[in-house]
Copies of this chain bind each other. A is one copy, B any other.
Amino acid sequence: MWDVTEEILEALEIGAGILGTGGGGNPYLGKVEALQQLRAGKTIRVVSLDEVADDAFTTTVGGMGSPTVGIERIGRGDECIRAMRALERHMGREFTHVIPGEIGGSNSMRPMIVAARVGVPVIDGDGMGRAFPELQMDTFSIYGVAPTPGALADPRGHEVIFDKIDDPATLERYARAVTIQMGGAAGYAFPPMTGAEVKRTAIPGTVTLAVEIGRAVRRARAALRNPVDAALSVSGGKRLFHGKIVDVERRLLGGFARGVLDLEGSGPDAGRSLRIDFQNENLIARTEEGEILAVVPDLICLVDEDSAEPVTTEIVRYGLRVVVLGIPAPELLKTAESLAVVGPAAFGYGDVVYVPLAGVFGQAG
């Protein structure tokens, strides 16, 4: 059990950005809101999965919508709380904890703000260990938690409750259709889970992991050491490629940013090139010879070569000098059940076989 400080929020912003693997939205605005809560005297308490009682009553809270819309449109800030309260009224029971659905990107911050305002602790874990584009791509769904009842709320206070939907992909379709009508961004609360369910299905320790990555980067920057090395040492990942972005092909399709980006090597990778396919998140990193260096669900993260600042799909552009990190996915994402939902075939790459990335720690393990 530990309390979130301003330093922790600054670190989480960077770590969650890196774990966003290009997507998940920018944690910056959420960080500012969370900082405001701390400065107003509120407490954000984080508890480990071990500390959650089996009969606890938990839910994930976060923002749904296209990251591109999330940047443009500032909500009233209480959408997630309204969604959570609507779900509580629907179920006749109050939540005792919240947990991030997605540690990568902006949804790392929403539970912090809810925790501060509502006064419940945040569980140190999440359902993705990174970011993914769709709701059903989390370990809660993959390991059998019913996706509904669940709730959405929009900036105008409108509430929509979904119930009796067994299939998370159906909930994803219904909720996304409503989110688009809500203007492209909404707050959500689902799935409701007991403590026992969340302990069985969540990826443990990912809030801590994100904070530790960010903290290592910030300390390295302050000490004039290499922030990219620092991020790697904490995340268990390795350098896949070092170079310059020379081409970006991106289009918005069904609310997702899809495309490819091409890199030209520098330093140790001079003379080589790399292509990355993305759908909001980076999915496959391939050399020009077609050798696959990393593939989803393993994490492919672009960071600025000097500062290790995350480079997301929205801001990626010609000329940026980056290091491509490969971070091994959490074990819960590598099972057969998970690969069916978040492996390369689930993103349309039926011909690509998932070969786990051997990270620094992965090799040792």
Binding site for B on A (CB under 8 A): 86, 90, 156-165, 170, 173-174, 177-178, 180-182
**Copies of chain A in the complex:** 2
A180 lies within 8 A of B181 (CB)? no
**Chain B residues closer than 8 Å to A157, beta-carbon distance:** 164
A160 to chain B, nearest CB (A): 5
Asked whether, in the complex, the Cβ of B158 is within 8 Å of the Cβ of A161, the reply is: no
| Across-interface contacts of A173 in B (CB, < 8 A) | 181
A174 with B158: CB separation less than 8 A: yes
Look across to chain B and name the residue whose beta carbon is closest to the beta carbon of A165: B158
Given contacts A159-B165, A160-B174, A178-B178, 4 further A-B contacts (CB under 8 A): A90-B161, A160-B162, A170-B181, A174-B181
CB of B161 within 8 A of CB of A160, answer: yes
A156 contacts which chain B residues (CB < 8 A)? 170
Q: Nearest Cβ in chain B — how far from A255, in angstroms?
A: 13
Interface SS of A by simple majority: mixed
Q: Give me 20 A-to-B residue pairs in the complex whose CB atoms sit less than 8 angstroms apart, sorted by A's number.
A: A90-B90, A90-B161, A156-B170, A158-B162, A158-B165, A158-B170, A158-B174, A159-B162, A159-B163, A159-B164, A160-B161, A160-B163, A161-B162, A161-B163, A170-B181, A173-B181, A174-B178, A174-B182, A177-B177, A177-B178
Question: Whole-angstrom distance from the CB of A357 to the nearest CB of chain B?
Answer: 36
Contacts of A163 in B (CB 8 A): 86, 158-161
Kindly provide the distance from the CB of A352 to the nearest chain B CB, expressed in whole angstroms: 30
Distance (Å) between the CB of A214 and the closest chain B CB? Answer: 37
Distance in angstroms between the alpha carbons of A76 and B158 in the assembled complex: 30
CA distance A280 to B136 in the complex (A): 37
Q: Which residues of B contact A177 (CB under 8 A)?
A: 177-178, 180-181
* CB nearest to A162 among chain B residues: B160
Contact B174 A164 (CB under 8 A): no
CA A27 – CA B86 in complex, angstroms? 37
Chain A to chain B: the 5 pairs with minimum beta-carbon distance, closest first = A161-B161, A177-B177, A159-B163, A158-B165, A177-B181
Cα distance A158–B175 when bound, in Å? 12
How far does the Cβ of A141 sit from chain B's closest Cβ, in whole Å? 16
Which B residues touch A158, using CB under 8 A? Answer: 162-165, 170, 174
Minimum Cβ distance to chain B for residue A356 (Å): 35
Q: How far is the CB of A172 from chain B (nearest CB, A)?
A: 10
Give the residue name and chain of the B residue nearest to A82 (CB).
Answer: B164
Give, as a whole number of angstroms, the nearest-CB distance from A81 to chain B: 13
Q: In whole angstroms, what is the CA distance A173 to B180 when docked?
A: 10
CB distance from A177 to the nearest CB of B (A): 4
A34 to chain B, nearest CB (A): 26
Distance in angstroms between the alpha carbons of A323 and B180 in the assembled complex: 43
| Cβ–Cβ < 8 Å partners of A174 in chain B | 158, 160, 178, 181-182
Whole-angstrom CA separation of A156 from B173 in the bound complex = 15
Chain B nearest CB, measured from A146 CB (Å): 12
| CA A159 to CA B158, docked complex, whole Å | 17
A180 proximity list for chain B (CB < 8 A): 177
